[in-house]
Amino acid sequence: MWSKRMGLVGATIMAACLATPLAPAAADPAPQATAPPGMIDALERDLGISEQQAVQRLANEQRAAVAESRLSTALGSSYGGAWLNEDASKLMVATTDAAATPGIEAQGASPVVVSRSLDQLNAIKGQVDRVAERAKTGATLWYVDVASNSVVINAPTQEAGDALAAAAGVDRDLVRVQVSAEKPEPFINIIGGSAYYIGSSRCSVGFSVTRGSTPGFVTAGHCGRAGSRTTNPTGTFQGSSFPGNDYAWVAAPGNTPTPYVRGSGGALVTVRGSQQASVGASICRSGSTTGWRCGLIQQHNATVTYPQGSVYGLTRTSACAQPGDSGGSFISGSQAQGVTSGGSGNCSIGGTTYHQPVNEILGVYGLTLTTG
């Protein structure tokens, strides 16, 4: 049952959707959604914003996701990526075609003319991906940064980052090295949302899924190999990929699939779909160690080097996590985003966490996300 406050918050979000500056002059009907229980409180706590700001942010993010999807298709090869500004009041959309700016503005977004398309940036990152394992330079992370229209390499020293760029044979003007002590590692603590167990190890359930009539859930690949058995719920890993990817799915016959994620204070958050949120959007994650934590999406399509090897195509966020949270849910509004892979830092001092996008997992294994 909705609390009185949640009913008011839901109504406010619907009104905000209608008033948001992201709305074009002739927009589709505003998405009618309510904030999942506890999400407003968590956004206030973790982003340092007011209730009204959290409500407005969620409304803007709903609009932005729809506009980004529409514009990325319409712009085609000239599309350079999209991101939200700091308070999510404005969706920035990059294009290499200056003539496309009126069309971007017509969708309520702000055009940014750039030198390189997103396809070109992804191709540059792909060159880095292909050489990183054998180059062994010590770089731990690289990603496309759409806001700066460049590829960023995180490395412990400038020399290590330069070495990886040189090994990839990419134009140094297209790559920015960021010196960082960040050392991501998988969040598995041999003892991970609701918890489930693989022997004496613990990870977290990502999202409920079905394959045909078989229920189960998606989680992180580093939590178990194909054939590994789980308890609470009882199941078996049907497929698992790590490193390279960090995803798996567990068949759990005899258990009941639900469209829920455990939110703040144990409240249940209903999953409505899996539309990818924009860079700059708020995002929350649920795990069996640190519970419900929120942050912002920083980049999509990041490559992270763990001690076990590189993992490609992850999303980087400012939400914190800790060992045992691995495999747990990442959700933006009511839209499933991914499962917790790993990161750096913790929830005491703050940290960076990466998730494996859920739509890739669903596609690889032919799964259907359980929604409400």
Q: 143 has which bridge partners?
A: 152, 302
How many CA within 13 A on the CB side of residue 152? 19
Check whether 173 has a pLDDT greater than 50: yes
**Stretch 134-150: mean pLDDT, rounded?**
93
The better pLDDT of the pair 183, 19 is held by 183
* CATH classification code of 4-37+49-113: 3.30.300
Q: Where in the chain is the domain with CATH 3.30.300.50?
A: 118-179
- Which amino acid is located at 85 in the chain? N
Does the pLDDT of residue 145 top 50, yes or no? yes
Q: What is the pLDDT of residues 193-252, one digit of tens each?
A: 899 999 999 999 999 999 999 999 999 999 999 999 998 888 999 999 999 999 999 999
pLDDT tens, residue by residue, 254-280: 888 899 999 988 788 999 999 999 999
What distance in Å separates the CA atoms of residue 87 and residue 69, rounded to the nearest whole number?
20
Any idea which fold 118-179 has? GMP Synthetase; Chain A, domain 3 (3.30.300)
Q: What is the pLDDT, as a whole number, of residue 203?
A: 96
- Ranking 29-38, 212-221, 354-363 by mean pLDDT, the lowest is 29-38
What is the mean pLDDT of the segment spanning 92-99? 98
Within the chain, where are the H helices?
4-19, 39-47, 51-75, 101-106, 118-135, 158-168, 358-365
Contacts of 138 (CB under 8 A, 6+ apart): 155, 156, 157, 160
Q: Residue 317, by phi and psi: left (phi above 0), alpha (psi -120 to 50) or beta?
A: beta
Report the percentage of the chain scoring pLDDT > 70: 88
Of 86 and 35, which is predicted with more confidence?
Answer: 86
pLDDT in tens, 43-58: 999 999 999 999 999 9
Q: Which of 2-6, 162-166, 232-236 has the lowest mean pLDDT?
A: 2-6
For residue 251, what are its two tokens? 């068949």
For every residue of 126-142, DSSP letters joined together read HHHHHHHHHH-----EE
DSSP 17-53: HHH-TT--TTPPPPP---PPTTHHHHHHHHH---HHH
pLDDT band at 183 (very low <50, low <70, confident <90, very high): confident
CATH tag, 186-369: 2.40.10.10
pLDDT recorded at residue 22: 44
Residues of the chain with CATH 2.40.10.10: 186-369
Catalytic residues: 222, 246, 326
Asked if the model's pLDDT at residue 8 lies above 70, the reply is no
Segment 308-314 shows an average pLDDT of: 96
Instruction: Over range 72-80, report the average pLDDT.
Output: 97
β-strand 282-287 against 110-113: which pairing, if any? unpaired
Contact 144, 301 (CB under 8 A): yes
Q: Look at residue 14 and tell me whether its pLDDT is greater than 60.
A: no
Q: So what's the pLDDT on residue 26?
A: 32
Mean pLDDT of 306-330: 96
Its sign, for the CA torsion 13, 14, 16, 20, is: positive
Q: Would you state the structure tokens that stand for residue 358, as one six-digit string?
A: 């859920």
pLDDT at residue 79 above 90? yes
**C-alpha separations of 128 from 85, 133, 161, 167 in Å:** 28, 9, 11, 8
Give all strands of the β-sheet with 91-95 in edge-to-edge order. Answer: 79-84, 91-95, 110-113
